[in-house]
Amino acid sequence: MDILRRHIYQRLVMSRVAELHPNSPFALRPDDPLIVALEIMKSKRIGSILVTDNVDKLVGIVTEKDIIHRVFAQRVDIDNAPVSTVMTRDPKGLRRSASVGRVIYLMSNGHYRHVPIVDEFDYPLGIVSIKDVLTWLVKCLDDEVETEENVNELRSEVDFFLNSYVSSLNLAPPEIVSVKQAPSEVVRKMRDQSATGVLVADMYGRLLGMFTERDYIVKAAALKKPLNEWTFDALLTYKPQTARMDTPLKEILQMLGAGYRHVPIVDLGNKPVALVSLSDIVSHLSESLISDLVCPPAKGES
C-alpha cells in the first residue's frame, strides 16, 4: 500500500492541529471539588477536564482513566476531595502550529487519549481527543483524491484496507468477568490491567454486557454511591452492539463514528473473543499506514 502510505504521510506532515477541530475545554481549579469534575464529565459526556491555576495557565488534566485508577485505588472521598487529588500534573500540550502527525506521535508514545492545545504561555486553547484523531484519519481515507497521480490505485488501496477484517487487528484477549463479581473487584482488575473496559459473560460464557470507564463515571462515581453499595448488574451496559472477527474494518469505523467507544467481538455462539476500542483502531491505522512515521517537533512546534 505504498501509494496510500505516501498519501497519508503527506497529510500528516502538512495538516495542522486546527484540522482536528479541537473542542473548547472545560477547566477547573486544583482546589475545586472533584465531584464538580465528575458532574461535568457526566452531563457533557466528555472524557477529560483541564485544570488551570489562578492565572488560567494549564497545570493539570483529569481524565476518566485518572478517576478509575486513583479515586478507587486511593479511596478518595469524592464529595470532599479537590481535583488536585487525582489530576495528572503538567500534561504535555501542543501548539496550534503542531502537525497532526505530531499529535498522533504524542498519543501513541505517551498512551494519551487527550492532548491539550496551548499557546506559547501555556494558556489552554482547546483539547484534542483520540476520537478527533480517528475522525480525521477516516476522512483522509474517504476524501476524493483527484489531485493524486495514480488515483485509481490509491482508491483500490483504500478499499482494500477498509475491507480488511477485524482479525487483522492486533487485539489482546479481553478481560471477561461475571455479573456476580463485586464492582470493586472489577474496577481493581481494570486498574491493574490498564483496561478501559471489560466484557461480562453469563454462566454459559455468552456475552451479557460490558462495563467501561464511562459506566463508572456516569453511574457509580457521579452518583456519589460507594462501589460496595452497588450490585454489578446495575452498572453494566447490556446487549451492546457487537461484531465478529470477519467484520470489515469499515463497519467498525462506522460504529465508533456513531458514538460507540468500544465494540465487543463475539464468535458465532455469542461468546466474547475481543474488545475493540478507539485506541486499538488508531494504533492499527498508525502501524498499518504510517509505521515509519517519526514526528519529533518541527521548528516552532512543542
pLDDT at 299 over 50: no
- My answer on whether 8 and 108 are in the same domain is yes
Q: Are residues 183 and 122 in the same domain?
A: no
State mean pLDDT over 34-41. 90
**Residue 197 has what pLDDT?**
93
Q: Tell me how many degrees the CA angle 283-289-294 measures, rounded to the nearest 5.
A: 75
120 vs 236: CA distance, rounded Å? 43
**End-to-end Cα separation, the chain, in angstroms:** 31
Residues whose CB falls within 8 Å of the CB of residue 237, separated by 6 or more in sequence, listed in order: 209, 210, 211, 212, 215
| Residue 232's pLDDT band (cuts 50, 70, 90) | confident
Task: Find the mean pLDDT for residues 208-231.
Answer: 79
Asked whether residue 294 is assigned to any structural domain, the reply reads: no
3-state helix vs strand vs coil in the chain, percent to 5: 40, 20, 40
Residue 110 lies in a domain: yes
What integer is the mean pLDDT of 243-251? 95
- One-letter identity of residue 21: H
Separation of CA 119 from chain center: 24
The residue with greater pLDDT, 178 or 221, is: 178
Instruction: Decide if 158 is inside a domain.
Output: no
Verify that 130 and 170 share a domain, yes or no.
no
Cα dihedral value 91, 95, 96, 100, nearest 10 = -70
pLDDT surpasses 70 at 149? no
If one counts the domains in the chain, the total is 2
Residues 189, 131, single domain; the answer is no
Report the predicted TM-score, pTM, of the whole model to 2 decimal places: 0.84
- Which grid coordinates belong to 80? 470532599
The answer to whether residues 32 and 82 touch, using CB atoms and an 8 Å cutoff, is: yes
Burial class of 90 by CB neighbour count within 10 A (0 to 12, 13 to 18, 19+): exposed
Do residues 172 and 130 both lie within one domain?
no
Q: Is 143 a domain residue?
A: no
Does residue 127 form part of some domain? yes
- Is the predicted pLDDT of residue 302 greater than 80, yes or no? no
Decide if 13 is inside a domain.
Answer: yes
Q: Mean pLDDT for the chain?
A: 86
Domain at 238, CATH number? 3.10.580.10
Tell me which residue range forms the domain holding 25: 2-135
> Does 131 have pLDDT greater than 70?
yes
